[in-house]
Amino acid sequence: MRLILLGPPGAGKGTQAKQLARNLDLAHISTGDILRENVARGSDLGKQAKDFMNKGELVPDELVNQMLIERLKEPDTKKGFILDGYPRNLNQAKALDEILKSMMMQIDLVIDLDSSEAVIIQRLSGRLVCRRCLANFHKTNMPSKKDGICDNCGGQLYQRQDDKRETIKNRLLVYRQEVSDLMNYYRQNAKLKRICADEDVEVVLNKIIDLVKNYSDASPDSKRWG
């Protein structure tokens, strides 16, 4: 199974992708996480991406596409994968098809996590991330047991620079500018499914799992779960 999770920042793509990856034994590929690791390490890629990210702008396609190619070469992607945060525009969607074609692969399902603006802003402005294991928490929806400390690994929790209110607005603007072309692209090849992602994590997760199972049942000849 090769799955894309689409949706605005704050729709819960990262949270859902992590849980799905565990449930379905798939690799989780978050371009945002890979970029943040590069920024933290001070790599060349990180240096080039940092300003775009802090402003809530998209990192140039060439950089992100190349980064994805490298990630897809890693052996864990053989069992299938979930893309979280990629593609972000039509250009990336087309590049992805070319990249996968050259690797004799294709996307099975694209799920759009539809979310209302009020929920997005509430989720993003309260989100806290672990510096060490990248787990997500929320100041009120999902607080850690000990203030500022990750329940999973004891790492320090921080608020992402781009989760500050002013930057959230810009990220939503960038999303809206790009999204219709992207959705049309996937709607044309009938891979797109939409669900409302405003509900609790478990409810949304079960809806996604249902979609994946329905898809697998309808296409029993292909290797859907691995």
What residues make contact with ligand AMP under the rule CB under 6 A?
9, 31-32, 35, 52-53, 56-59, 64, 85-86, 88, 92, 162, 171
Provide, rounded to whole angstroms, the least separation between the CB of residue 33 and ligand AMP. Answer: 7
- With respect to ligand AMP, which residue has the nearer C-beta, 108 or 162? 162
- With respect to ligand AMP, which residue has the nearer C-beta, 52 or 77? 52
Question: Residue 127 catalytic?
Answer: yes
Provide, rounded to whole angstroms, the least separation between the CB of residue 220 and ligand AMP. Answer: 32
Residue in 163, 184, 195, 3 with CA at minimum distance from that of residue 83: 3
Catalytic residue among 13, 36, 123, 193: 13
Catalytic residue among 2, 171, 193, 224: 171
Question: Residue 171 catalytic?
Answer: yes
- With respect to ligand AMP, which residue has the nearer C-beta, 158 or 225? 158
Question: Residue 194 catalytic?
Answer: no
- With respect to ligand AMP, which residue has the nearer C-beta, 15 or 212? 15
Provide, rounded to whole angstroms, the least separation between the CB of residue 99 and ligand AMP. Answer: 13
Question: Residue 13 catalytic?
Answer: yes
- Residue 177: C-alpha distances to residues 16, 45, 51, 174, 182 (Å): 24, 25, 20, 5, 10
Which residues form the catalytic set?
A: 13, 88, 127, 160, 171
